Amino acid sequence: MSITKVCVLGAPADQGQPLVAELLAHGFAVTAGVRRADAMAGTPFPDLPTVFADITDADAMANAFAGQDAAAFHLPFEFDRARAAHFGQQIAAGAKRAGLKKIIFNTACFVADHDLDLSAHDGRRDIERALEETGIPCVFIEPTVFMDNQYRMWNRPLIMREGIFAYPAKPDLLINWVCLEDVAQAMRRALQTDAADGMHVPLGGPEALVGDQVAANLSEAIGRPVRFQSLAPEEFAARMSEMVTGSREVTPLSIYDGMAKFYSFYNTQPTSPLVVDPKAAHDLLGMEPTRHLDWAKSKDWRAGLPA
């Protein structure tokens, strides 16, 4: 099956931009499915073709996918499960009507093979189910936790200013951290092979690390001591809320509340759900995952921060 034309939903976002770069570098014709005509203006791809896409409207999605071979995308976290399921149903209906040849969905989080009574997680399963029911070959790329979370502006200033990597992981929680470039590579490779069709592909880096090991790598990459601070998920949520809204109050069904519940789940399992065997992605997609230290050394940790 030849796939050349790909519609990327979420192209302007931090997960979408590496995907667009990866696809363009390997010869795909990429169109960004966006809600605003100028959505790509502030990205490295201001001239990328765009098409109107509204994930709440099957007609809009059918029009967006018309003439495309495939769709590749992530979706914003939605903590109302019914609303998340609706997104999946509308995208699926549009994809089927447009006659797409393949769908690649980056879940942007760990997904279990059963519901967890976590609305955002269970909504991801509903989306996967709706896409599978189209009969279109689907590949579900299911990353663990992004290395890039360490570089974001809600984390990096504290690392650089105080030498503290604060994260809502208990001290012995093992995580196969994965970088966004590897997620993009996995999605691109899934478009180029039928070996993974119908598969759920857990994606993580080559090593399972606890917080102290992450901090040690950051210390080496940055050239100054960094220590790990294990935050209670509720404290993490309050800090995130305060940073964005000015208030430590965590609103139910907000992204802060939802992320706290995710990490509370991870921290209370007898075996970490965030440990994956990289062999699965290697065997299916030919992936050679990026080591955390190599990723950390590739970043300019002082970029955009006060001198």
> Per-residue b/e over 240-253, b at no fewer than 16 CB within 10 Å?
bbeeeeeeeebeee
Calculate the CA dihedral of residues 132, 133, 135, 140 and round it to 10 degrees. -10
The answer to whether residue 1 scores a pLDDT higher than 70 is no
Q: What is the Cα 10 distance to its own chain's centre?
A: 11
The answer to whether residue 253 scores a pLDDT higher than 80 is no
Radius of gyration of the chain (CA): 19
**CATH H-level, domain 5-136: superfamily:** NAD(P)-binding Rossmann-like Domain (3.40.50.720)
The single-letter DSSP state of residue 153 is T
Rounded Cα distance, 137 and 199, in Å: 9
CATH of 146-177+205-275+290-307, picked from 3.30.420.40, 3.20.20.70, 3.40.50.10860, 3.90.25.10, is: 3.90.25.10
Rounded Cα distance, 99 and 234, in Å: 44
Tokens of 226: 């960094």
Calculate the CA dihedral of residues 175, 176, 179, 182 and round it to 10 degrees. -160
Rounded Cα distance, 118 and 171, in Å: 23
- Whether this model's pTM surpasses 0.75: yes
Which parts of the chain are beta strand (E)? 5-9, 29-34, 50-52, 70-73, 102-106, 138-143, 164-167, 200-203, 227-230
Query: What are the distances in angstroms from CA 198 to CA 25, 53, 74, 133, 297?
Result: 26, 25, 17, 11, 35
Inter-axis angle of helices 81-98 and 58-65, to 10 degrees?
A: 40
The residues spanned by each domain of the chain are 5-136, 146-177+205-275+290-307
Q: Are 126 and 93 in contact (CB under 8 A)?
A: no
The pLDDT of residue 2: 87
Could you tell me how many residues make up the chain?
307
The pLDDT of residue 251: 82
The pLDDT of residue 29: 98
Q: Please give the share of the chain, as a percent, with pLDDT higher than 70.
A: 100
pLDDT tens, residue by residue, 151-193 = 999 999 999 999 999 999 999 999 999 999 999 999 999 999 9
List the end-to-end C-alpha distance of the chain, in Å, as a whole number.
52
The pLDDT of residue 169: 97
Of 79-83, 207-211, 216-220, 255-259, which range is least confident?
255-259
Q: Please give the share of the chain, as a percent, with pLDDT higher than 90.
A: 89
Measured over the CA atoms of residue 220, residue 208, residue 170 and residue 235, the dihedral's sign is positive
Q: Which amino acid is at 241?
A: S
Give the number of other CB atoms < 10 A from CB of residue 46: 9
Query: What are the distances in angstroms from CA 143 to CA 87, 111, 181, 278?
Result: 20, 8, 12, 11
The answer to whether residue 218 scores a pLDDT higher than 70 is yes
Region at 10 (left for phi over 0; alpha for psi -120 to 50; beta for the rest): left
Q: Which amino acid is at 42?
A: G
Measured over the CA atoms of residue 128, residue 129, residue 132 and residue 134, the dihedral's sign is negative
